Amino acid sequence: MMKSLARLFAPEDEGPRFPSPLEQFWAAVEELRQAREGFELARPEDVDLACARLGMAEVAFSAALRRARAEGVRAWPGPGGG
């Protein structure tokens, strides 16, 4: 978690760097992928938690998609930019 948070910030003289709408979108895609995998692998006693995580990931994905579209993103290059 700390590694990903540290990546968001540039050196002190540049101030904070916030992820672009496209970066947020791809982060939400990865979060959704992990939540789906977690749901598929969940033990019976963990299904409720996996369901909740999946639901939150779906909401985050929808929000990231809406935000990217609102910013004018119309083409979806891969996570590496290509």
**Average pLDDT of every residue of the chain:** 84
- Of 64, 58, 77, the residue nearest 21 (C-alpha): 64
Distance CA 64, CA 76 (A): 13
Neighbours of 6 (CB within 10 A): 8
* Model confidence at 7: pLDDT above 80: no
66 lies in some domain = yes
12 lies in some domain = no
Three-state SS for 56?
Answer: helix
* Model confidence at 26: pLDDT above 60: yes
What mean pLDDT do residues 54-60 have?
Answer: 97
29 lies in some domain = yes
80 lies in some domain = no
1 pLDDT band, cuts 50/70/90, is very low
Distance CA 10, CA 16 (A): 6
The amino acid present at 20, given as its one-letter code, is: S
- For residue 22, the model assigns a pLDDT of 87
Which residues form the domain of 46? 20-70
Put simply, whether the predicted model's pTM sits higher than 0.85 gets the answer no
